[in-house]
Structure 1
Amino acid sequence: MAVASTASPTLGSASGAEERMDPKRVIAFLAMVFGMFMSILDIQIVSASLSEIQAGLGASNDEVAWVQTSYLIAEVIMIPLSGVLARILSTRVLFSICAGGFTLASALAATATNIEQMIVYRAIQGFIGGGMIPSVFVAAFTIFPPSKRNIVSPMIGLVATLAPTIGPTIGGYISHAMSWHWLFLINVIPGIIVAATTWSLIDFDQPDHSLMKKFDWWGLASMAVFLGSMEYVLEEGNNKDWFNDHHIVMGTIAMVIGGAIFFRRVFKVELPVVDLRAFSNTNFAFGSLFSFVMGVGLYGLTYLYPLYLSRIRHYDSLMIGQTMFVSGAAMFLTAPIAGILSSKLDPRVMMMMGFGGFAAGTYMMTGITADWDFYELLIPQILRGCSLMICMVPINNIALGTLPPDRMKNASGLFNLTRNLGGAVGLAIINTMITQRTDDHFARLSERVDWGNPAALDWLSSVGANYDAYGLDGSTVAVQKLAGIVTQQATLLSFIDIFMGLTVLFGSLVFMTLLLKKPKAAAPAGAGH
């Protein structure tokens, strides 16, 4: 209440003081942003290089997938937990420990000699690294006055969207130029610098060690089971045929039980691991919903584009990275424009522009064929990159910009969790749709190329004759080639279905934005201190 009642006088009387930013805090914030960039980048940096890691560690296909899955599960657990840890330890101690621990885990991952070691080190890396992400959002809305948010919001929005987008690009270049070990070693020197800088310069909050006595350990355990099981089920469900697999069934049971205990304790204990009261703020609730859907689009397309380029175009990781670089460049160039627009336009208008642009880009992709290459993908990728940045800035401001400072730390963890969960849910749905829709399209296409179709018979005869001339079994080769063409077309049609689904999803957000009320002016930084 005190924050709301004093916001306007403080803004009027202390605006001059607010405009003068402490250089130490600015440097500390930039170091935090870079730490967040490393943490988010490492989610996707291995995705284009899993085959090299698999060969280097002698792992199976199922085992090497856990190089990414273990990181995601651990990170999802830490992100919401970071709010209460920052209150107990202070942002300075939490962020510095996380940066140092992330650096050490990165070095250990580079020294892994078998897949078991790699999975453990990646889980440690993801868990510790996850603590850096929400702290950056808290710092942006705590130490900077509202007048500066058109600068800092695009910065953190750029990092949150650019890092996972260019992860495959950077990973592809590194693994080609050097070796997969450098995917992790590149974190070491920057990580040491970030840890040292943040330990020396962060000073905008104080620890409250008395909260440790109230810490809800059972809540932590149940949250870990709930979120960890959910991430596992979503990541592995499609590969294991969902509930036909014993492990998925057990994971779902663990998720339900862990969730029931977790939500009961959240509303019962004095100091819950995650404070859900932030959702009582309408702007935060809508912002979190939009963040969830942004996670679907961000991680979904970061997965779909490389999948198309590898399965249909047969690109290697380096060529995929070069093609995907367009979206990252578009985001980078749009960030300052988004910052300028955020100070001039109603945030609802910006979100409508972003959602509409994203929907237009995915709609263009519904015309995809097996011949699409860099130039056909150029405009959809530019639309994707620009639209994500235009969306992200107002979503961040609407979700976090009007919360009182005492709720900011917990709310930031929840807000970032929604984006990651959106990505996990989106990837699970996309993978399931690819599998199911490809099978459906294959069945329908197969009906049209049976032995009663004269055009199909003529094609088989013509192609078979070419191979007969070289002494091969032309009929068998022709049937195999026809089956390959049908499979390719079925896969393409499944991609088109997904792009159409994303078009409808983001198109609906344009209209949902109309339900938002124009956000009130944010409380100034420091109003609650």
Structure 2
Amino acid sequence: MTSATAPAQASSAPAAPAAAADDAFTGRRAFAFLIMVFGMFMAILDIQIVSASLAEIQAGLGAGPDEISWVQTSYLIAEVVMIPLSGFLARMMSTRILFTLAAAGFTLSSLACAGSSSIGEMILWRGLQGFLGGGMIPSVFAAAFTIIPPARRNIVSPMIGLVATLAPTVGPTVGGYLSHAFSWHWLFLVNVIPGIGVTVGAFLLIDFDRPNWKLFDRFDWWGLLALAAFLGGMEYVLEEGPSNDWFADEAVAILAVVMVVGGIVSFWRALTRDEPIVDLSAYRDTNFTVGSVFSFVMGIGLYGLTYLYPLYLGRVRGYDSLMIGETVFVSGLAMFIMAPIAGFLSSKLDLRVMLMGGFLLFAASTWMLTGLTDQWDFGELLLPQVLRGMALMTCMVPINNLALGTLTPDKMKGGSGLYNLTRNLGGAVGLAIINQLLSDRQALHYDRLAESVSWSNPEAVSQLSAMGANLAANGITDDRAALAQMVGKVTGQAMVMSFIDVFFLIALLFAGLSVTALAMRKPAPRGGGGGGGH
């Protein structure tokens, strides 16, 4: 009898920690987590909310064309520095204090942005807003994998994935609507009331861990300076390089040197100090390393397509910011609908197969865009956008679980910062490459098309004559007007062809990487997660 009951007792033993984890995940913690998710939504939304309304901000502040881009760049540079730093700060301050201070500072800097009277003030407050917003994003990912039992992650993971992908996608839509319906000030004022609620809720409800103030005595100030030089320099070079002929621009060249020196010092201090501000030990986990590669490529696809759709609609179709927002909103709607489906699938399918399927679906949606013409409108873009939204959610849920699900709790905070950093860096690198490709390929296609548009080409001569006749019927008799119209047509076609080239390469990248998902291992269900690192 004893021998018969022993195995039964042994087999039921692993369920005890899981039950304890469920008991530790109280209603208070669930509500605290929802507040954190909303704070993360605000921070990620603000990356793109101004992108469609820079012209309105430029006019309101009297800024020059070279200055206005810094409204976006200052936010991105500051945020990318804070994201990896947040892991150390969360261990030192605790999640509660870090998130509360970040939310409060984000709210106050949003108010200051709205009250800016010059471009200098706007850049300063926008940078502070990005730095503090970056403190909220990794905390949510870390909390999801430390306080939430594995059995409930199929509900939570889609929520996080939805926020991480939906916020930057709908940012231009929200920004375009606010600036049209009210004024550009509301791009920032919209954060104030929710920000106060997030700050108060985080202070009262978050109880996941305890501060370790002794870490302050071991804070690596030189490491922080090197990290800021490395990531800040990289972000600047990637943002400004494509439009300034890269190293031909003195500022880009100097910042590139700063980036290299900062990178060498950052890695040296991270690998030699007992308490580095950026802990790279999470990369010893194969899943985390491969997952970070997927996260990097996800950043290229997420931010790249969020950039390319509005760029096509604005440059080729001549849409204003509100019309662009209304057109690209489809992807956000598809993500919202797909989120619960992705959660259900993650509990039924092998996550590696689901991730591979999501990347292939994203590749298919982008491949459809290789048939682009200068006449494509909402109808033609509808299916690619829907499939893209579905693909992003199908990718994001398994990639989060696979990359972070095998990390030990003590590596979770630092790993979460690094994981989010790779997505942002993927976006920055992707946008730099995309802009360079668009410029180079447009010039190449223009030269090739111009070779065939000559007086020896009967079709070209016929079209030029038709343009001249049409202009003459409207009272324009200058022969140069028809030539200018022909140049504009060739330029437009070259631009569309450059878009097609970029879409083809993105589709190829996602399709090629998809098979790498099989190199990861499926996280084994484990019962931890309730303690939160007390």
TM range (shorter): over 0.9
Tell me which moved more, 288-297 or 455-464. Answer: 455-464
Distance 1:79 1:366 in 2: 35
1:355-434 alignment runs, 5 A limit:
355-434=359-438
For 1:515, which of 516, 519, 525 is the aligned residue?
A: 519
Q: 1:242 to 1:522 in 2, by over 3 A?
A: farther
Distance 1:494 1:51 in 2: 25
> Which residue of structure 2 lines up, in the alignment, with residue 159 of structure 1?
163
The alpha-carbon deviation at position 219 of structure 1 amounts to 0.4
Q: 1:278 to 1:335 in 2, by over 3 A?
A: same
1:119-158 alignment runs, 5 A limit:
119-158=123-162
> Which residue of structure 2 lines up, in the alignment, with residue 3 of structure 1?
none
Report the residue type matching 2:450 in the other structure: S
Q: Secondary structure at the match of 2:363?
A: helix
> Which residue of structure 2 lines up, in the alignment, with residue 179 of structure 1?
183
For 2:194, which of 190, 193, 196 is the aligned residue?
A: 190
Q: 1:523 to 1:431 in 2, by over 3 A?
A: farther
Distance 2:11 2:500 in 1: 50
1:8-407 alignment runs, 5 A limit:
9-12=13-16, 14-15=18-19, 18=22, 21-407=25-411
Tell me which moved more, 95-104 or 61-70. Answer: 61-70
Q: Secondary structure at the match of 1:206?
A: coil
Report the residue type matching 1:434 in the other structure: L
The alpha-carbon deviation at position 475 of structure 1 amounts to 1.7
Q: Secondary structure at the match of 2:348?
A: coil
> Which residue of structure 1 lines up, in the alignment, with residue 5 of structure 2?
none
> Which residue of structure 1 lines up, in the alignment, with residue 3 of structure 2?
none
The alpha-carbon deviation at position 367 of structure 1 amounts to 0.1
Structure 1 residues 117-149: Cα deviation after superposition (integer angstroms, max 9, x where no partner): 000000000001100000001111111100000
Q: Is the 8 A contact 1:153 1:339 kept in 2?
A: yes
| Residue 453 of structure 2 is aligned to residue 454 of structure 1 | no
The alpha-carbon deviation at position 521 of structure 1 amounts to 3.0
Distance 2:83 2:199 in 1: 18
Distance 2:420 2:225 in 1: 20
Q: Is the 8 A contact 2:113 2:125 kept in 1?
A: yes
Distance 1:73 1:64 in 2: 15
Tell me which moved more, 125-134 or 400-409. Answer: 400-409
Q: 1:16 to 1:436 in 2, by over 3 A?
A: same
Distance 2:11 2:105 in 1: 38
Q: Is the 8 A contact 1:402 1:522 kept in 2?
A: no
Q: Is the 8 A contact 1:350 1:390 kept in 2?
A: yes
Distance 2:21 2:423 in 1: 35
Distance 1:413 1:17 in 2: 24
Distance 1:8 1:28 in 2: 32
The alpha-carbon deviation at position 264 of structure 1 amounts to 0.7
| Residue 514 of structure 2 is aligned to residue 506 of structure 1 | no
Q: Secondary structure at the match of 1:480?
A: helix
Q: Is the 8 A contact 1:137 1:412 kept in 2?
A: yes
Q: 1:9 to 1:237 in 2, by over 3 A?
A: farther
Report the residue type matching 1:283 in the other structure: N
Report the residue type matching 1:281 in the other structure: D
Report the residue type matching 1:429 in the other structure: I
The alpha-carbon deviation at position 465 of structure 1 amounts to 2.5
The alpha-carbon deviation at position 11 of structure 1 amounts to 3.8
The alpha-carbon deviation at position 520 of structure 1 amounts to 2.9
The alpha-carbon deviation at position 518 of structure 1 amounts to 3.1
Distance 1:140 1:7 in 2: 27
Q: 1:40 to 1:80 in 2, by over 3 A?
A: same
Distance 2:13 2:239 in 1: 50
Q: Is the 8 A contact 2:25 2:530 kept in 1?
A: no
The alpha-carbon deviation at position 244 of structure 1 amounts to 1.0
Distance 1:64 1:504 in 2: 34
Q: Secondary structure at the match of 1:48?
A: coil
Q: Secondary structure at the match of 1:195?
A: helix
Q: Secondary structure at the match of 2:336?
A: helix
Q: Is the 8 A contact 1:28 1:201 kept in 2?
A: yes
Aligned-residue sequence identity (percent) comes to 61
Structure 1 residues 275-329: Cα deviation after superposition (integer angstroms, max 9, x where no partner): 0010000011111110000000000000000000001110110010001110000
The alpha-carbon deviation at position 511 of structure 1 amounts to 1.6
Q: 1:35 to 1:17 in 2, by over 3 A?
A: closer
Report the residue type matching 1:69 in the other structure: T
The alpha-carbon deviation at position 517 of structure 1 amounts to 3.1
> Which residue of structure 2 lines up, in the alignment, with residue 443 of structure 1?
447
Distance 2:323 2:39 in 1: 28
Distance 2:242 2:80 in 1: 20
Q: Show structure 2 runs of 5+ residues with no match.
A: 1-9
Q: Secondary structure at the match of 1:343?
A: helix
The alpha-carbon deviation at position 263 of structure 1 amounts to 0.6
Q: Secondary structure at the match of 2:69?
A: helix
Distance 1:8 1:155 in 2: 31
The alpha-carbon deviation at position 454 of structure 1 amounts to 1.6
Report the residue type matching 2:73 in the other structure: T
Q: Secondary structure at the match of 1:393?
A: helix
Distance 2:89 2:309 in 1: 37
The alpha-carbon deviation at position 460 of structure 1 amounts to 1.3
Report the residue type matching 1:118 in the other structure: M
Tell me which moved more, 461-470 or 253-262. Answer: 461-470
For 2:499, which of 495, 498, 502 is the aligned residue?
A: 495
Q: Secondary structure at the match of 1:143?
A: coil
Distance 2:514 2:28 in 1: 40
Distance 2:131 2:377 in 1: 38
Q: Is the 8 A contact 1:233 1:251 kept in 2?
A: yes
Tell me which moved more, 506-515 or 479-488. Answer: 506-515
Q: 1:254 to 1:337 in 2, by over 3 A?
A: same
Q: Is the 8 A contact 2:270 2:276 kept in 1?
A: yes
Q: Is the 8 A contact 2:21 2:529 kept in 1?
A: no
Distance 1:391 1:384 in 2: 10
Q: Show structure 1 runs of 5+ residues with no match.
A: 1-5
Q: Is the 8 A contact 1:402 1:521 kept in 2?
A: no
Report the residue type matching 1:45 in the other structure: I
Aligned pair count reads: 524
The alpha-carbon deviation at position 461 of structure 1 amounts to 1.8
Q: Secondary structure at the match of 2:278?
A: coil
